[in-house]
Copies of this chain bind each other. A is one copy, B any other.
């Protein structure tokens, strides 16, 4: 899919990448190389795109916009470094992870810490205390969400609200930081900042629900990881909730699979993943994601600039239309 939104931000994204490259090169030799590979291996640059577009409704200082774009993308990169270490993931976006490349686990912890610090440093370059404070709170929220996820593994009876909080914390909070900070840099009125916050939050939630659906029905090659990975790690996502609600037997099946600790756990979970993938739970979860994307778009209703608004709407459509 060719996004119009991206064509609007080509020049600023180039500057964001240049800034991240400079940031990486400033690091100590062995880290600099790894840092550079990480920030340059790409991804969709969705978060900086959100910063840039959200700064467009009012005149904004381009230097600050670029610094904040680099901040959110670098923060995202830092979380990936620690996530890959925790999950023992060896490939990401088709490239070997630091976990695959560096034998010394301790050094990977430190590399992630350094990249976190650098992301906060980029955020400080905006010169805005409000943004810095949002940034540090978001970083806390992200860690909190990951901790809760880690501590709730194999718990099938968590309330659905816990799931919503977790996807807010691990994904939507950073989307919301991105849109808010763009608006703050442009000195937008408070109402516009709040509209963009809401847009970013719902967009991030929709995005994560789709990720969680793709984990069941996606193409392993495109995912870059085996199907059903979440459930194998005992992480209960939205399709599992809907599946358990469909029929009482389904609930029994989930409980049996997740509580079996013996060798046949792998088989049971694999079977469960296949059953969920062909169940009505996928459609229900998808409809919920569509609803979230709609709420994201509704939040944009009163925003002034028509062109930028349409680009943000397009991003919301994209977030739920990613390939299955």
Given the known interface contacts A139-B120, A147-B28, A150-B104, the answer about A86 and B114 at a Cβ–Cβ threshold of 8 Å is: no
Known: A106-B85, A109-B109. A124 touches B136 (CB 8 A): yes
In the complex the two chains form, is A140's CB within 8 Å of B124's CB?
Answer: no
Contacts of A121 in B (CB 8 A): 133, 136-137, 140
Chain B hits for A105, CB < 8 A: 86, 105
Cβ of A139: which chain B residues have Cβ within 8 Å of it? 113, 116-117, 120
Q: Quick one: which of B82, B114, B118, B144 contacts A147, CB cutoff 8 A? A: B114
Q: A86 contacts B109, CB within 8 Å?
A: yes
Instruction: Check A189 for interface membership: any CB of B closer than 8 A.
Output: no
Nearest CB of chain B from residue A77's CB, rounded to whole Å: 14
Q: How many copies does the complex hold?
A: 2
Give A27 to B146 CA distance when docked, in angstroms.
Answer: 13
The closest CB in chain B to the CB of A137 belongs to: B121
Interface string of A121-158 (1 = CB under 8 A from B): 10010010100110011011001101110110000000
Cβ of A111 under 8 Å from chain B: yes
Determine whether A107 belongs to the interface, using a CB cutoff of 8 Å to chain B: yes
A117 pairs with B140, CB closer than 8 A? yes
What is the size, in residues, of chain A's interface with B at 8 Å between Cβ atoms?
39
Bound CA–CA A85/B85 (angstroms):
13
Q: Point out the residue from B106, B107, B144 that lies within 8 Å of A27, measured CB to CB.
A: B144
Kindly list chain B residues whose C-beta atoms are within 8 Å of the C-beta of A86.
105-106, 109-110
CB < 8 Å: which of B30, B111, B136, B150 contacts A120?
B136
Do B143 and A117 touch (CB < 8 A)? yes
Contact A133 B124 (CB under 8 A): yes
A205 CB–B CB distance under 8 Å: no
A31 at the interface (CB under 8 A from B): yes
Query: A230-251: which have CB < 8 Å to B?
Result: none
Residue A82 contacts which of B87, B113, B124, B133 (CB distance < 8 angstroms)? B113
Contact B148 A28 (CB under 8 A): yes
Contact A30 B137 (CB under 8 A): no
Asked whether, in the complex, the Cβ of A82 is within 8 Å of the Cβ of B111, the reply is no
Question: In whole angstroms, how far apart are the Cα atoms of A132 and B135 in the complex?
Answer: 12
Given contacts A117-B139, A117-B143, A132-B132, contact A82 B107 (CB under 8 A): no
**Central interface residue in A27, A30, A127, A144, by most chain B CB within 10 Å:** A144
Bound Cα distance A118, B106 (Å): 22
Contacts of A133 in B (CB 8 A): 121, 124
Q: A148 to chain B: which residues have CB within 8 Å?
A: 28
Chain B residue contacts of A107, Cβ below 8 A: 147, 150-151
Q: Which 5 pairs, one residue from A and one from B, show the smallest C-beta to C-beta distance?
A: A86-B106, A114-B143, A117-B139, A121-B136, A117-B140
Query: Can you list 22 A-B contacts (CB < 8 A)?
Result: A28-B144, A28-B147, A28-B148, A30-B151, A31-B147, A82-B109, A82-B113, A86-B110, A104-B150, A106-B150, A109-B109, A110-B143, A111-B143, A111-B147, A114-B144, A116-B116, A120-B120, A120-B136, A120-B139, A121-B133, A124-B133, A129-B129
A30-B151, A87-B106 known; 17 new pairs, CB 8 Å cut-off, are A85-B106, A86-B105, A104-B150, A107-B147, A110-B150, A112-B113, A113-B113, A113-B116, A116-B139, A117-B139, A117-B143, A120-B120, A120-B136, A121-B137, A124-B129, A127-B129, A129-B132
